């Protein structure tokens, strides 16, 4: 196996799980049904005072903003502080700190999505380079890349499960250069719209979206490698008998 083929195999093995990982984040973050379900479970309407009929619009605008389809996070909605008969005209429901933080969140998310797209191009090129004469290298790349990433991801996932708060804080410290992500429940509605249970549920979904395809890839590629190894053993045995 020449140097170019080795590089292509390594790239494919590294990039495939990265593509799955970022794609899983995209699916989880842009799933409106998940947001709606979490709004009900976490009593968001009651905690934020947002007029119930407007909550669906708020979710749409939040997702639209994260996708890059909406220019700003200055989302407006009606409030019903006491009951549905006492409705306040549409007002900005997020303050400047929340808006600036969500700018950072969107920029980070769009960066990763762009990184994923670049990874897909490189992975496709590597795959095509190996496809004709080096199919075994493709299988090995997918097997070892998926297996290593699963181990790393399980370690990170375990830290979220057993020490969610500290891991959550560390994540924000690593990816954000300011402390705007530290929310005050008395002034910031965002923390009521996406509270800790929301993030825990979303991370749980991401884990499933990541581990299922990578697990299936590891299993399928592992079986192929095992069968090829057994065929080689049988061939060597026959040659030895001759």
What H or E segment, with its residue span, contains residue 4? Answer: helix 3-29
Q: How far is CA 62 from CA 17, 89, 144, 155, 190, in A?
A: 28, 20, 38, 31, 11
* Average pLDDT over all residues of the chain: 90
* Encoded tokens for 108: 């980070």
Contact between 173 and 29 (Cβ < 8 Å): no
Tally the residues of the chain. Answer: 242
Kindly give, in sequence order, each residue whose CB lies less than 8 Å from that of residue 97, ignoring residues fewer than 6 positions away: 180, 188
How far is the C-alpha of 187 from the C-alpha of 22, rounded, in Å?
32
CB atoms inside a 10 Å sphere around CB 130: 23
How far is the C-alpha of 189 from the C-alpha of 47, rounded, in Å?
8
Q: What pLDDT sits at residue 85?
A: 63
Contact between 214 and 17 (Cβ < 8 Å): yes
169 pLDDT higher than 70: yes
Q: What pLDDT sits at residue 84?
A: 58
Mean pLDDT of the region 22-44: 94
- The pTM (predicted TM-score) of the whole model is 0.87
Helix boundaries (H) for 30-163: 32-41, 44-48, 52-67, 96-131, 135-162
How many Å separate Cα 126 from the centre of its chain? 24
How far is the C-alpha of 144 from the C-alpha of 183, rounded, in Å?
41
| 162 band by pLDDT with thresholds 50, 70 and 90 | confident
How far is the C-alpha of 205 from the C-alpha of 150, rounded, in Å?
15
* Encoded tokens for 104: 């950072």
Name the residue with tokens 């997702």: 63
pLDDT tens-digit profile of 58-116? 999 999 999 999 999 999 999 886 655 667 788 999 999 999 999 999 999 999 999 99
More confident residue, 83 or 155: 155
Contact between 94 and 190 (Cβ < 8 Å): yes
How far is the C-alpha of 70 from the C-alpha of 102, rounded, in Å?
12
């Amino acid at each position: 196996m020449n140097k170019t083929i080795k590089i292509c195999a390594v790239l494919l093995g590294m990039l495939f799980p990265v593509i799955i990982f970022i794609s899983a984040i995209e699916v989880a973050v842009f799933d409106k049904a998940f947001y709606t379900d979490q709004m009900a479970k976490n009593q968001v309407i009651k905690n934020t005072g947002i007029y119930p009929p407007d909550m669906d619009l708020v979710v749409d605008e939040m997702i639209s903003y994260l996708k890059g389809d909406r220019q700003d996070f200055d989302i407006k909605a009606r409030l019903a502080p006491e009951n549905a008969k006492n409705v306040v005209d549409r007002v900005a429901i997020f303050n400047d700190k929340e808006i600036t933080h969500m700018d950072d969140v969107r920029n980070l998310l769009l960066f990763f999505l762009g990184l994923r797209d670049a990874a897909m191009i490189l992975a496709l090129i590597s795959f095509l380079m190996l496809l004709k004469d080096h199919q075994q290298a493709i299988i090995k790349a997918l097997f070892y890349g998926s297996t290593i990433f699963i181990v790393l991801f399980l370690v990170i996932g375990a830290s979220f499960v057993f020490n969610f708060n500290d891991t959550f804080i560390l994540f924000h410290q690593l990816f954000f250069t300011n402390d705007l992500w530290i929310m005050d429940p008395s002034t910031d509605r965002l923390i009521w719209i996406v509270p800790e249970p929301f993030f825990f549920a979303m991370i749980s979904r991401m884990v499933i979206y990541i581990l299922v395809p990578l697990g299936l890839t590891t299993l399928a590629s592992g079986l192929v490698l095992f069968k090829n190894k057994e065929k080689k053993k049988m061939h060597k045995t026959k040659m030895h008998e001759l």
